[in-house]
Amino acid sequence: MAIHIVLVEPEIPPNTGNIARSCAATGSVLHLVEPLGFSIDDKSLKRAGLDYWPYVQVEIHPGLDAFLKQYEGRNMYLATTKGSRLYTEVSYQDEDMILLGKETAGLPKELIQANEDKAIRIPMSEETRLRSFNLSNSANIILFEALRQLDFPNLR
């Protein structure tokens, strides 16, 4: 069993490193959709992932279109502040994919509009001026809800 975390054009190495560490610790699959805002060899990326990198199942895709074509028909949820449903209102299944966009812009608007029924969000205060939560925090919040619903498969 596995949940797939898909980072579309991530820009900040430590965020990706933190998510990679979570994927290693949970047996989740990490997908990186190019272009990336850093090199895979970036020291800060490696440092954030610490010694977990050998345990991360990572797939790198040359672009969003290539990723979507390769995984056509798979169940995908789009994490966005524009989602109509809360991330907790979804019934996650084995092999579901959770897509998160780049830190400065999120997921492409066209993708969200074409998949509004799969757009999910994390609730946050309307009184603040925050645009969104940190990418790695958001990925972990949603990942652990999915794993909780699946009764934390293969985790102790």
Sign of torsion over alpha carbons 19, 36, 13, 56 = positive
Q: In what order do the strands lie in the sheet with 85-86?
A: 57-61, 29-33, 4-8, 97-100, 76-79, 119-121, 85-86
Reduced to 3 states (helix: H, G, I; strand: E, B; else coil), residue 10 is: coil
Q: Residue 53 CB: number of other CB atoms within 10 A? A: 16
37 in a labelled binding site: no
- Residue type present at position 31: H
Contacting residues for 51 by C-beta, under 8 A, at least 6 apart: none
Residue in 101, 139, 131 with CA at minimum distance from that of residue 11: 101
22 in a labelled binding site: no
132 in a labelled binding site: yes
Q: Residue 148 CB: number of other CB atoms within 10 A? A: 11
Pick out the residues of the known binding site for S-adenosyl-L-methionine: 101, 122, 132
Pick out the residues of the known binding site: 101, 122, 132
